A = this chain, B = another copy of it.
């Protein structure tokens, strides 16, 4: 309560809270009074306590998310991606490497990128058929034709496919072709789309909004979970700050913070965070060491002709360095290889 709150102001708050079935405990000091509220927080929402006379501020103590919280689900979850016989785990015991081209351009480019990814140790293929681009004049993706290319490449390589969906009207067709639906950073708060992928019956890769707090990100996951789909993998991809040296600032602390609050797996996208290919390998190493459940990386057979994000795509030497890091570091931090676990599970 504010310093000039009256006895009546305090009594009003207490009675409002009790009216909706809560309890209010008054802590009275010399200059200030604090009221502790306990009960069903949802029922407190519509009380608009901040608008009442004498109320200085309202702090929420408990987490606003439930289904994705570790509070009632103490162990960390594993999400399996892929059709029966091809399933790959993403979870606390393994380290999973996802790679592929930013955008699907041609069957040849996609297959070649998939083979590069697979040789480097990747067990899930990423590739965009629908691209949300800042400019309406930029390449927007091949759409349905891209989905078919991805399905063909999956058949040829055996790699499960994750691809982005940007419009609720496309969820059905994407779910028919892909093994995992990606929600991109720009759509993290597109709640209609979150509900649609929650209904689609496929695992979801939920990227963090580039300016979302961790709590908002977990609330976005809660939107999906609320539709009955708990097969959600979170992906940290950098946040917007004042630092211009990198496209975004990779929030590496977000990994252990999320793991302390939520049971969902969480991976890292160093390519989009940095926007510079010379940083991808060191950031991937940092992701493994901090305890991420996987990394997702752009690869392209010829970055200089890429229709999207060429400057961050790995090739040759860097990809070999990454392959080495992904093979050597996870065991040092107690992680199994997701590919081997997948094979032995079949």
Contact = CB atoms under 8 A, between A and B. Distances in A.
A242 B245 contact: no
Interface in A127-145: 132-139
Contact of A48 (B132, B138, B240, B305): B305
Contacts of A279: 253, 256-257
Interface in A156-209: 166-169, 186-187, 189-192
Contacts of A134: 189, 216, 219
A151 interface: no
Contacts of A278: 256, 260
A283 interface: yes
Contact of A135 (B28, B52, B139, B219): B219
A253 B332 CA distance: 22
A38 B48 contact: no
A63 to B, nearest CB: 9
A48 B304 contact: yes
Interface in A36-53: 36-39, 42, 45-48, 50-52
8 contacts: A27-B27, A35-B36, A134-B216, A135-B219, A166-B191, A245-B257, A249-B251, A253-B274
Given A48-B304, A252-B286, 17 more contacts: A24-B27, A28-B38, A32-B61, A48-B303, A48-B305, A51-B306, A59-B59, A136-B222, A169-B169, A187-B189, A213-B243, A213-B244, A249-B249, A250-B253, A253-B274, A257-B279, A329-B332
